[in-house]
Amino acid sequence: MTFRHSLAALAALFLSVTLQAEEAKPVDNTPKMAYGLMMQQGDRLIFSPCRDRSYANVEDVSADGSVTRALNSVGLAAGKRLYVELLGVLDNGTLKASAFNMARVEGRCQMPGGKEEAWRAAGNDPAWALVAGGEHVRLQRYGKPEVVLPYAEFRSEGNVSRYDGSADRNKLAIRLEKTICRDVQANGAFAWTATVELNGEALKGCAWQR
């Protein structure tokens, strides 16, 4: 066998081994959060990832079609374009959605919160907003000073996540229940219903994971 033939044989063997390794690579079926824009075209649900020109069909694999119901509550079936955050698996061009985090009509893409943000919550009457993650929990209320407390990981109790903290004569209790929350003023739907109590004052609103 010539040197050239030996190189060809080695190349063929290497290619064969590489292909076998790729074929044996297990498929990652771990659901991940997908961020993007979504609309309905006929019977098809179309998803376009943030900062990406690709498209994917959406298949609702949630229990009792809860994902589709939540999206329809903010106008998906009525033809509105939504910004959505869906938990799912991308399989051969189809996003198999098993849960939803939030959806807003004509909303803009948002970057994941990373280490600095684990939760966000907001409500109306009176207007308030909360950010939790990193080192702090920050609560802002219209016309009042910002309240800042040390962050601690929320305790999970079934479908409820809780936080209790105190600092500088402020006592804060947060209860997040995994039930769909509609915010008409924000034109959105969220996966969690929030109850925030600060020094005996109760605030109601919606929450979502970051």
131-155 tens-digit pLDDT: 999 999 999 999 999 999 999 999 9
Decide the pairing of beta strands 128-133 and 119-123: antiparallel
- Residue 142 and residue 162 in contact, taking contact as beta carbons nearer than 8 Å: no
Q: Provide the pLDDT for residue 26.
A: 60
User: In which residue are the tokens 């929990």 written?
Assistant: 137
End-to-end CA separation in angstroms for the chain = 62
Q: Which two tokens stand for residue 123?
A: 């409500």
Pick among 3.40.630.30, 3.40.50.1580, 2.40.50.140, 2.60.40.10: CATH of 32-105: 2.40.50.140
- Residue 90 and residue 98 in contact, taking contact as beta carbons nearer than 8 Å: no
Query: What percent helix, strand, coil does the chain show, rounded to 5?
Result: 15, 50, 35
pTM above 0.85, yes or no: no
What is d(CA 196, CA 119) in angstroms, rounded to the nearest whole number?
13
What is d(CA 33, CA 94) in angstroms, rounded to the nearest whole number?
14
Q: DSSP character for 27?
A: P
In the predicted model, what is the mean pLDDT of residues 151-165?
96
